[in-house]
């Protein structure tokens, strides 16, 4: 009897696994404790701001909860809770499908336009582009041009009631899709523009045609590696869920006025991004 008791005492204690509910509680508390974003601390967390940027900015689109979780690199439960909160507030719309629920923005909400404007400033293309392009060696200036530069210049965006360029629109016309967007101008003589490495692809738009309304166009001025700019653009695209195209030009080329492509950029909306 004594031997059996001694043997029992020598056995290692079994580790008790925490119940599943405990794990879920930890995930929930981690979500609650996530710090407010420094860009705009009125949002609950940076994740909430980036989720709103995915849904409120750019072309209207429906996304599944799983799509959002993958894009934001977070767990599905966090996305479901955030979306449900925003849907109850009337900012987002939910729709059930055979494959599950999908979510989109609600443009009819009185909160949509002012909230989208705040999200654009704090979590939109200019903030994301600045974060990923500023560390590039040799960068002297950074600009947005084209449609998104027009959106930032237009105080009425995203209501679409005014042209980004400030010009008067024909009655009832929506000019937000063509904000002085470069119309497929050719590269300067001798300057190669390989597909996906320069602006914006191998297929130029017809002269005068509007570019894609959601594409983000970036001009990096300085001695910047095209490969590094391309990688930074891909990182921005992953964050924004929008195509991002980077154009690299030297400081000398930007100062001079003999490049027809750069002249066309200057003739349209142009937003200089402040570098840290």
Task: Assess contact for 246 and 232: CB atoms under 8 A.
Answer: yes
- Mean predicted confidence (pLDDT) in 132-146: 95
Same domain as 53, residue 160:
no
Q: What is the CATH number of the domain that holds 100?
A: 1.10.10.10
- Mean predicted confidence (pLDDT) in 14-20: 52
Of 57, 77, 105, the last residue of a domain is: 105
Q: What percent of the chain has pLDDT over 70?
A: 65
pLDDT band at 6 (very low <50, low <70, confident <90, very high): low
174 pLDDT more than 90 = no
Same domain as 237, residue 199:
yes
Q: What is the DSSP string of 156-192?
A: TTTS--S-TT-PPPPTT---TT-SS---SPPPPTT--
Task: Assess contact for 77 and 92: CB atoms under 8 A.
Answer: no
Helix (H) or strand (E) holding 78: helix 76-88
- Does the predicted model carry a pTM greater than 0.85? no
Residue 9 in any domain: the answer is: no
Measured torsion, CA atoms of residues 81, 85, 91, 94, in degrees rounded to the nearest 10: 50
The C-alpha atoms of residue 35 and residue 125 are separated, in whole angstroms, by 22
Same domain as 152, residue 37:
no
- Mean predicted confidence (pLDDT) in 40-54: 80
Residue 10 in any domain: the answer is: no
Task: Assess contact for 176 and 210: CB atoms under 8 A.
Answer: no
Residue range of the domain that includes 251: 124-272
Residue 213 class from Cβ within 10 Å (0-12 exposed, 13-18 middle, 19+ buried)?
middle
Structural domain count, the chain: 2
Same domain as 82, residue 163:
no
Same domain as 148, residue 100:
no
């Amino acid at each position: 009897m004594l031997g059996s008791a001694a043997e029992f005492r020598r056995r290692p204690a079994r580790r008790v696994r925490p119940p599943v509910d405990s794990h879920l509680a930890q995930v929930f508390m981690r979500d609650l404790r996530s710090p407010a974003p420094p860009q705009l601390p009125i949002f609950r967390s940076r994740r909430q701001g980036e989720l709103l940027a995915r849904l409120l900015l750019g072309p209207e689109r429906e996304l599944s909860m799983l799509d959002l979780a993958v894009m934001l690199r977070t767990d599905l439960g966090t996305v479901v809770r955030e979306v449900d909160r925003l849907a109850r507030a009337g900012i987002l719309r939910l729709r059930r499908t055979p494959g599950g629920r999908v979510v989109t923005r609600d443009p009819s909400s009185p909160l949509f336009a002012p909230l989208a404007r705040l999200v654009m400033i704090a979590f939109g293309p200019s903030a994301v582009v600045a974060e990923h392009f500023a560390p590039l060696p040799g960068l002297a200036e950074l600009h947005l041009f084209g449609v998104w530069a027009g959106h930032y210049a237009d105080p009425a965006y995203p209501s679409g009631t005014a042209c980004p360029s400030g010009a008067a629109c024909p009655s009832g016309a929506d000019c937000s899709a063509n904000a002085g967007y470069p119309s497929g101008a050719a590269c300067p003589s001798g300057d190669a523009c390989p597909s996906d490495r320069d602006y914006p692809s191998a297929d130029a738009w017809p002269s005068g045609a509007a570019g894609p309304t959601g594409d983000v166009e970036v001009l990096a001025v300085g001695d910047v590696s095209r490969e590094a700019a391309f990688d930074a653009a891909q990182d921005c695209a992953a964050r924004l869920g929008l195509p991002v195209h980077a154009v690299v030009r030297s400081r000398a080329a930007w100062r001079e006025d003999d490049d027809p492509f750069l002249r066309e950029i200057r003739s349209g909306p142009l937003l200089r991004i402040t570098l840290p």
